[in-house]
Amino acid sequence: MKFGEIETNLLKTIANLDGVPKGAVNIRIDGSPALRHSSPNIQIIPKQDKPGFDLTVAPGTKGETVHVPVILTKSGLKDLVYNTFIIGEHAEVTIIAGCGIHNSSHMNSQHDGIHEFILHPYSKLKYVEKHYGEGSGEGKRILNPTTTVQVAEGALIEMEMVQIAGVDDAVRTTTVHIQEKGYVKMVERLLTHGDQHAESHVEMYIEGQGGTGQVLSRSVAKENSTQVFKAALIGRAECTGHVECDAIIMDQSKIKAIPQLVAEDTNAVLTHEAAIGKIAGEQLIKLMSLGLTEQQAIDTIIEGFLR
C-alpha cells in the first residue's frame, strides 16, 4: 500500500516507519483501518460492537514487534477508537503505537484512544507511544488517550509516552493495577509551547506482594503553555513504588506537579521526587563557550533533558 507525502511523514515521525512493516500491523487513517495484517503468533481482530480491535499475542511468543499507529489528515474529524491488547503467558513483544495529526484548517481535529492492556503471568511488553501535531491551520490538534493496564503475577511492562510537539490540548489518563511480583515502569516525555495545554493523570495500584511501580516524568514548557502532572501510587501490599517529576519552565509558561503516595500496608515503600526550574545559566555559558549560539545551547539542553 502506498501513502501520500503527509501520511508518510506522519508515520515516520510517530512510528519510525518508512513503509509497510513486516509482521503484525494495524494502521488507522482518518477514522478507518487503512492496513491490517496479523502474524502467526499475533492476531488483530476488529471489534464487532465499536471501532477498534483486539490484539492477542500467543503464549510464549518471543521477539516480535507490532506497529499500531493512528494518523489524522482530515480537518474537523473527531476520531474515537477502542483497542484491547492481550499478552499471553511468557510472551515477550514490543508494540509501537502513537498518533499524528495534520491540520491545516480552522476546524479542530481530535483523536481519543481508549486502550486496555491485559498482561498474563510472566509476560513482558515494551510499549512506545508518540504524539505529534503539525499543519498551518488555526484549528486545534487534540489528543486524549485513556489507558488501563492489568499486570498479572510476574509480568512486566515498560511504557514510553512521548509528546513531541504540535499538540494543542492533551489529557492523558492512565490507571494501572499490579499483582504479585509484577513490574511497571512508565516514562513520560513532554514538550509544550505556544498556548498549548497538557495534563497527565496517573493512578498506579500496587496490589500484590513484591510488586514494583515507577512513574518518571520529564517535561519542558515554553512560551505561554501550561502543564499539569498528577501521579498517585497506592501500595496495598509489601511493595516498592517511586514517582519522579523533573521539569524545565521557560518564558511565561506554568507547570503544576502533584505527586501522591498512599500506603495501605505497613510494608509498602513509596517515594517521590519533584523538581521544577529554569535552565541553569552556567550550562548556557559552557555550551556558548564552545561556539554555540544561545538558542542552539538552549535547544541542545532541552534535547538532552527529554532524551
pLDDT value at residue 1: 61
The DSSP annotation for the chain comes to ----HHHHHHHHHHH--SSPPSSSEEEEETTEEEEEE--SSEEEEE-SSSSEEEEEEPTT-EEEEEE--EEE-STT-EEEEEEEEEE-TT-EEEEE--EEEE--SSS-EEEEEEEEEEEPTT-EEEEEEEEEEE-SSSS-EEE--EEEEEE-TT-EEEEEEEEEE--SEEEEEEEEEE-TT-EEEEEEEEEE-TT-EEEEEEEEEE-STTEEEEEEEEEEE-TT-EEEEEEEEEE-SSEEEEEEEEEEE-TT-EEEEEEEEEE-STTEEEEEEEEEEPPPHHHHHHHHHTT--HHHHHHHHHHHHH-
Residue 281 confidence (pLDDT) above 80: no
Average pLDDT for the chain: 94
The full set of domain ranges for the chain reads 5-280
pLDDT value at residue 235: 98
Residue 2 confidence (pLDDT) above 80: no
Instruction: Tell me the pLDDT band of 218, cut-offs 50, 70 and 90.
Output: very high
The larger pLDDT score, comparing residue 305 to residue 79, is at 79
Of 88-92, 133-137, 222-226, the least confident: 133-137
pLDDT value at residue 19: 78
Residue 116 confidence (pLDDT) above 90: yes
- pLDDT tens-digit readout, 249-263: 999 999 999 999 999
pLDDT value at residue 43: 97
- pLDDT tens-digit readout, 45-72: 999 999 999 999 999 999 999 999 999 9
- pLDDT tens-digit readout, 3-30: 889 999 999 999 998 878 888 999 999 9
- pLDDT tens-digit readout, 166-199: 999 999 999 999 999 999 999 999 999 999 999 9
Kindly report the pTM of this predicted structure.
0.93
C-alpha cell at position 37: 495484517
